[in-house]
């Protein structure tokens, strides 16, 4: 739809503008390159499409400030970790208060009972465990599922991402995989219930692991009735249903599970669950817990030998952050402004798409939105076919040069409780200006 030469020309001009505008980041980049792989402490940080990394000084609320003193209105929000805004005051205060009272004890602290009760009330599942990351929560859940069912495989949807979990890393590009994930996982399309049923009929699937809305292949909304059908099929074939809410926590209080009355056997949530502090949780039903007790009782080894858990998990800082987040963030009053800003962004983007007669769509799950190319996809394969990476990258760089951050891996925009409708209007005006340059 847009001329490739124009896209490439604008990308080159925006790259030069970024380099000229960020001398502080540029000089950091030289020093960073001396000791960090690819010049960054975690190599994904190079996926932003900038000539060198943007180096951050601080992030607060919906604003991120770089070392050159530029302020960015942040719609990436740490790719969801900071969905409730950067350093929410109650969480930051709880971490600061705990910081001098012990950082690693490998024992529950006096808040743990209330945190367990809070998670049960929030998501409607009675039993819980903590991990440091959603990746680790998914790894543990899949181990439990295999132990409980005696079955080896996991069913996932094509184009999914559930963290760097070897069992289900079916996407191309993985490095050093310990085994071929096609031996441990089966993948089917998100809109193909017949294929789900065929996979389950084989009798070797321990768990169906899914996001309620696919958010890592662009955003793919479920077809009507999908979740009811998945629940019925997994029950019929005695396969455990795992709902990964790590990104769909944006749906509303208690994530998609609460807002859409889902009935998973396991629920996983990480990233924003503790207001951005590294922490994740997995919850499970009473029936699953009874099965876990039987598994544990049948073995002679100590709990530390299960292959699940890590030394720093459920540390006092994580418990402090999670307790504060449960008390203050997972509440309707927090979500109301997020959902309001997201609704305004949704409407403004649709109006822009109409006015410019673009063959684009907007998908939204609560406070989380995505612009996609072509018609709204029904599955991961359609979503992948509609990606326009060069166009997306120039849009991101153009927006960054005008003070807006979008998630680098796709066109995702998140609205925090402190994102204003003014922020939204300015973002849409900047997107419009970019499209004007390309038209």
10 Å Cβ neighbour count for 120?
Answer: 14
Q: Are 357 and 239 in contact (CB under 8 A)?
A: no
Minimum distance, C-beta of residue 210 to ligand PLP, in the bound complex (Å): 9
CA quadruple 236, 242, 248, 253: dihedral, nearest 10: 90
Q: CB nearest ligand PLP: which residue?
A: 163
The nearer residue to ligand PLP, 49 or 255, going by C-beta atoms, is 255
Backbone φ, ψ for residue 250 (5° rounding): -65, -15
- Report, in Å, the least distance between residue 216 CB and ligand PLP: 5
CB closer to ligand PLP, 88 vs 270 = 270
d(CA 205, CA 395): 41
User: Can you tell me the distance from the alpha carbon of 77 to that of 131, in angstroms, rounded to the nearest whole number?
Assistant: 21
207, 246, 283 from 153: Cα distances, Å: 7, 22, 21
Q: Which is nearer to ligand PLP, 42 or 107 (CB)?
A: 42
Distance CA 422, CA 253 (A): 24
CA–CA separation, 360 and 95 (whole Å): 42
- Strand order of the β-sheet with 56-60 is 56-60, 63-66, 71-74, 404-405
For the bound state, the minimum distance from the C-beta of residue 234 to ligand PLP, rounded and expressed in Å, comes to 18
Site residues (vs ligand PLP, CB under 6 A)? 133-135, 138, 161-163, 211, 216, 244, 246-247, 270-271
**Nearest approach, Cβ of 197 to ligand PLP (angstroms)?**
24
Residue 22 or 158: the one with the smaller Cβ distance to ligand PLP is 158
- β-pairing, 412-414 vs 368-373, is antiparallel
Give the C-alpha separation, 161 to 307, whole Å. 22
Rounded CA gap, 102 and 107, in Å?
Answer: 11
Residue 66 vs 136, nearer CB to ligand PLP:
136
CB of 56 to ligand PLP, least distance (A): 18
**Judged by CB, which is closer to ligand PLP: 244, or 423?**
244
- C-alpha to C-alpha distances, 103 to 95, 97, 318, nearest whole angstrom: 10, 11, 9
Least Å from the CB of residue 414 to ligand PLP: 12
Task: Please classify residue 389 by burial: count the beta carbons closer than 10 Å to its beta carbon, then call 0-12 exposed, 13-18 middle and 19+ buried.
Answer: exposed
The nearest distance, CB 321 to ligand PLP, in angstroms, is 14
C-beta closer to ligand PLP: residue 187 or 244: 244
Supply the minimum distance, in Å, between the C-beta of residue 157 and ligand PLP. Answer: 11
Nearer to ligand PLP, 26 or 329 (CB): 329
């Amino acid at each position: 739809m847009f001329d490739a030469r124009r896209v490439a020309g604008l990308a080159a001009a925006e790259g030069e503008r970024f380099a000229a505008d960020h001398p502080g980041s540029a000089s950091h980049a030289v020093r960073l390159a001396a000791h960090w792989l690819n010049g960054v402490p975690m190599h994904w940080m190079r996926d932003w499409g900038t000539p060198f990394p943007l180096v951050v000084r601080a992030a607060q609320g919906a604003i991120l400030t770089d070392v050159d003193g530029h302020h960015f209105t942040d719609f990436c929000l740490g790719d969801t970790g900071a969905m409730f805004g950067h350093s929410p005051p109650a969480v930051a205060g709880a971490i600061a208060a705990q910081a001098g009272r012990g950082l690693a004890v490998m024992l529950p602290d006096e808040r743990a009972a209330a945190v367990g009760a809070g998670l049960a009330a929030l998501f409607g599942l009675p039993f819980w465990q903590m991990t440091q990351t959603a990746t680790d929560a998914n790894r543990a859940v899949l181990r439990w599922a295999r132990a409980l069912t005696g079955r080896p495989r996991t069913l996932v949807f094509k184009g999914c991402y559930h963290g760097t979990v070897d069992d289900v890393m079916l996407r191309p590009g993985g490095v050093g995989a310990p085994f071929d994930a096609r031996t441990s996982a089966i993948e089917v399309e998100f809109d193909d219930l017949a294929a789900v049923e065929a996979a389950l009929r084989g009798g070797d699937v321990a768990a169906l692991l899914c996001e309620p809305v696919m958010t890592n292949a662009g955003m793919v909304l479920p077809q009507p009735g999908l979740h009811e059908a998945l629940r019925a099929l997994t029950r019929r074939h005695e396969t455990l249903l795992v709902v990964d809410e790590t990104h769909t926590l944006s749906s509303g209080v208690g994530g998609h599970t609460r807002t859409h009355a889902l009935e998973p056997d396991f629920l996983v949530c990480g990233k924003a669950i503790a207001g951005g502090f590294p922490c994740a949780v997995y919850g499970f039903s009473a029936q699953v817990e009874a099965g876990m007790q039987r598994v544990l009782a049948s073995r002679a080894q100590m709990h530390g030998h299960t292959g699940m858990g890590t030394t720093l998990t459920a540390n006092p800082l994580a418990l402090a952050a999670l307790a504060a987040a449960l008390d203050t963030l997972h509440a309707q009053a927090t979500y109301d402004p997020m959902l309001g800003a997201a609704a305004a962004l949704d409407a403004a983007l649709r109006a822009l798409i109409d006015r410019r007669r673009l063959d684009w769509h907007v998908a939204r799950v609560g406070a989380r939105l995505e612009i996609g190319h072509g018609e709204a996809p029904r599955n991961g394969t359609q979503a992948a076919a509609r990606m326009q990476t060069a166009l997306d990258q120039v849009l991101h760089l153009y927006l960054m040069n005008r003070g807006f951050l979008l998630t680098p891996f796709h066109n995702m925009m998140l609205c925090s409780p402190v994102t204003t409708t003014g922020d939204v209007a300015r973002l849409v005006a900047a997107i419009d200006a970019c499209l004007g340059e390309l038209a």
